Structure 1
Amino acid sequence: MIDAAILPLKEHFRSLDDPRAQHRIEHLLLDIVLVTICAVICGADTWVEIEHYGIAKQEWLETFLELPNGIPSHDTFERMFARLRPEQLQQCFLNWVQAVFNITDGQLINLDGKTLRGSYERGGKQGMIHMVSAWASQNRLVLGQRKVNEKSNEITAIPELLRVLDLNGAVVSIDA
């Protein structure tokens, strides 16, 4: 059996459910997700930047992705991620992070809540989005996040976040 830590990144996202009608698919779900992950790791912040990254790195991406119709448009990236189940995507991401990241005894993990900039829609139904994140300071890596409805409810999101993370041996700090 192959050790989970050496499984390719794509193996951790292969289990994502594709919400699209099969007869209308031009770009593979795995290609869309992996181009996005690579682009974001390299600093892309918008769907347009993700598309530009994909175009610039297409030759390299084709060494491990299929890309039967080239790089998806920024609109395709946005539509696809809007339709994915966030909890399923998060679990795939957590599985990948845990496969490549080991917590050592005494390592500091900071839990902190933040309001996402630009998340408030004036006159809209959605208020500001608040997130609680687990940050491995030594490795400068976010291990996981949980969305909370209101900043005052961070205390309920923290146990949920801790349940999905394997933090045995770590020192956990919570910013109140």
Structure 2
Amino acid sequence: MKKNPGGVTFTMNLHFTNEYPASCLDEIVGYLLGPRLWIPRIQYPDFDEWLHKSFIELKNEQKRAMVALSGNDIAGVALYQRHKKDPRALEIKNLTVRPDMRGRYIASFLLRNVEIEGARDFNSSHIVCDAKADNLPIQTFLVRHRYEALKREDLYQKGAGHDIIYKKKLAYI
């Protein structure tokens, strides 16, 4: 329990899992589609297509989801997979936390759990991810978690701007 300056006491009980029944995939995808998503759609012109493809890949277990639950509600989701071109790399495809749950280190816990479970699942030696070049908060987040910026390029060639590719070596593998 924690006491805030207003004198109100609250308890935050979170559960992190990458084991979920297939019936929960609709809820996970619905969460990513919802208005709570932090990604501005203008930066991802093919977002709906990507999400549909991700749903299929989650069902086929090509992609995995790490879900943070607060009670029965999704508080955050991270999608990850084995990198399609580098079999020793774990690739984080998406990481988002509900706006009303931000600032509570949920993204950090999701990221760390993906690093551990994803590395085990895929026998990975390193992790790669990307962030929009103009998204300073996520860049700061990644650097704080020891991700190294490798290069800047327009990954998706859709006119949505440049991305920065990040990498983190996994010392415990």
Q: Say which one has the larger Rg.
A: 1
TM-score normalised to structure 2 length: 0.26
Structure number with the bigger relative contact order (C-alpha 8 A, sep ≥ 6) is: 1
